[in-house]
């Protein structure tokens, strides 16, 4: 049996894990936006090389994810998350000290290893080990907190860059991992093993079908592609639709609040609704936003940002809650690692693919992400709980 912690303990655990994940996201996924240009300039490189190193880090994270999930299934998540804090600190320290581009790439590879064992998938699997099928609320809680990673990370990275330099900014994040994230992860309960039984007799313990797993893996890959494409090119897309630079930037700033607001809605009103239903509604948001933008142009920039952000906010939660609702807690960690591996790899290519489409087609490039979003909605419609 997986232990059930009292509601009184869920708050501190959710806050601790949500805070450590905020540090992890801020110091990895959101780091290149601020530090890529000065990193590249010091070595006489184009920033494209640094973003390429970051793409390599995401591929590394995809390869490591299934191992991390299996480890969490077998022994609980605390040890893996503590290790992730140490790995993040080592990778960031290597970036800070890198004397050559080769070691800069090595530093990003180590950061990618930390991403594979220390981002949402590891956090979700840890909560599944602690709470079992009741992990939906805590999963929503940690995504609600970590939704502020860019809000915290970009200004803090920018402040350290302006005050000391990019190397010191990397070192500063390494110290934050050691003195903030690591103690928080070490305080988490261990949880219980959630490995799938070798032989299942009941329908409840039966392994999920390959079709169901394939559909869900496609949904996750589609979600990550669209989210990353918009994160990289949203201002340019909105300007291609006719919005001014100021309007495009202001609309882009609504993405974060829209994501958080949608997660609050999921935590409150939608918590009694099946996560499959809420995921279907969220998957429809981006195609609807795309049609709105194409129909009304620049004046619809804010509506587009709000719809896209809200849908993405709930779909981020769905990456944790859907496998739990559809397939149960047994084998959850390894399963979620495999389900998200294609998404991480496709995510690494999303800025290049959508950037080329935007350059070639202008605002009509939004049909690409709209079609991908619509296909993910169809895939979710084909899935059935149980």
Asked which of 204-213, 270-279, 294-303 is least confident by mean pLDDT, the reply is 204-213
Residue range 174-187, pLDDT digits in tens: 999 999 999 999 99
Range of 24-38, 84-98, 127-141, 152-166 with top mean pLDDT: 84-98
Residue 149 pLDDT > 70, yes or no?
yes
Please give the mean pLDDT across all residues of the chain. Answer: 86
Residue range 222-249, pLDDT digits in tens: 998 998 888 778 888 898 999 888 888 7
Domain residue extents for the chain = 7-186, 210-382
Query: What is the topology classification, in CATH, of domain 7-186?
Result: Growth Hormone; Chain: A; (1.20.1250)
Number of helical (H) and strand (E) elements in the chain, helices listed first = 17, 0
CB 281 within 8 A of CB 314: yes
Torsions phi, psi for 243 (to 5 deg):
-80, 150
CB 21 within 8 A of CB 123: yes
CB 218 within 8 A of CB 236: no
Return the exposure string of 233-253: e unless at least 16 CB atoms fall within 10 Å of the residue's CB, then b. Answer: bbbbbbbbbbbeeebbeebbe
Quickly state the pLDDT bin for 25 (edges 50, 70, 90): very high
Question: Burial, 286: exposed, middle or buried (Cβ in 10 Å; 0-12, 13-18, 19+)?
Answer: buried
Per-residue confidence (pLDDT) for residue 368, from 0 to 100: 95
Per-residue confidence (pLDDT) for residue 79, from 0 to 100: 92
7-186 against 210-382: fold identical: yes
Architecture of domain 210-382: Up-down Bundle (1.20)
Per-residue confidence (pLDDT) for residue 194, from 0 to 100: 55
Per-residue confidence (pLDDT) for residue 85, from 0 to 100: 97
User: In this structure, is the dihedral angle defined by the CA atoms of residues 238, 242, 248 and 251, taken in order, positive or negative?
Assistant: negative
Per-residue confidence (pLDDT) for residue 15, from 0 to 100: 92
E strand or H helix at 58: helix 47-75
Residue range 192-202, pLDDT digits in tens: 655 554 444 44
CB 120 within 8 A of CB 206: no
Residue 250 pLDDT > 90, yes or no?
no
Quickly state the pLDDT bin for 381 (edges 50, 70, 90): very high
Residue range 364-377, pLDDT digits in tens: 999 999 999 999 99
Per-residue confidence (pLDDT) for residue 107, from 0 to 100: 96
Asked which of 10-19, 196-205, 213-222 is least confident by mean pLDDT, the reply is 196-205
User: In this structure, is the dihedral angle defined by the CA atoms of residues 247, 252, 258 and 260, taken in order, positive or negative?
Assistant: negative
Question: Burial, 272: exposed, middle or buried (Cβ in 10 Å; 0-12, 13-18, 19+)?
Answer: exposed
Q: What percent of the chain has pLDDT over 90?
A: 44
Among the listed residues 267, 242, 251, 384, the one whose alpha carbon sits nearest the alpha carbon of residue 327: 384
């Amino acid at each position: 049996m997986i232990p059930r912690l009292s509601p009184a303990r869920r708050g501190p655990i959710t806050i601790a894990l949500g805070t450590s994940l905020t540090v992890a996201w801020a110091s990895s996924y959101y780091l290149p936006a601020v530090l890529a240009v000065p990193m590249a300039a010091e070595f006489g490189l184009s920033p494209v090389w640094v973003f390429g190193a970051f793409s390599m880090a995401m591929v590394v994270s995809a390869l490591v994810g299934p191992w991390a999930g299996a480890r969490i299934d077998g022994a609980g998540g605390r040890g893996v998350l503590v290790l992730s804090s140490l790995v993040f600190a080592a990778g960031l320290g290597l970036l800070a000290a890198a004397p050559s581009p080769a070691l800069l790439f090595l530093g990003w590879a180590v950061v990618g290893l930390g991403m594979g064992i220390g981002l949402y998938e590891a956090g979700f699997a840890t909560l599944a080990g602690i709470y079992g099928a009741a992990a939906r609320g805590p999963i929503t809680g940690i995504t609600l907190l970590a939704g502020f990673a860019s809000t915290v990370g970009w200004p803090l990275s920018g402040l350290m860059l302006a005050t000391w330099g990019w190397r010191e900014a990397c070192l500063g994040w390494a110290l934050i991992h050691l003195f903030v994230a690591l103690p928080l992860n070490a305080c988490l309960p261990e949880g219980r093993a959630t490995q799938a039984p070798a032989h299942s007799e009941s329908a409840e313990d039966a392994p999920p079908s390959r079709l169901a797993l394939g559909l869900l893996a496609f949904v996750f890959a589609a979600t990550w592609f669209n989210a990353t494409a918009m994160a990289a090119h949203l201002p340019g897309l909105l300007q291609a639709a006719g919005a001014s630079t100021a309007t495009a930037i202001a609309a882009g700033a609504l993405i974060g609040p829209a994501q958080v607001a949608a997660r609050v809605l999921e935590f409150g009103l939608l918590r009694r609704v099946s996560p499959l239903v809420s995921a279907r509604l969220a998957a429809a948001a981006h195609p609807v936003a795309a049609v709105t933008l194409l129909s009304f142009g620049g004046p619809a920039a804010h509506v587009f940002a709000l719809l896209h952000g809200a849908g993405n906010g709930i779909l981020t939660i769905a990456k944790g809650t859907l496998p739990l609702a559809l397939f149960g807690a047994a084998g959850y960690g390894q399963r979620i690692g495999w389900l998200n591996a294609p998404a991480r790899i496709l995510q690494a290519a999303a800025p290049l693919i959508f950037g080329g489409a935007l350059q070639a087609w202008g605002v009509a490039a939004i049909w690409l992400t709209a079609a991908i979003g619509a296909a993910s909605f169809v895939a979710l419609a084909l899935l059935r709980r149980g």
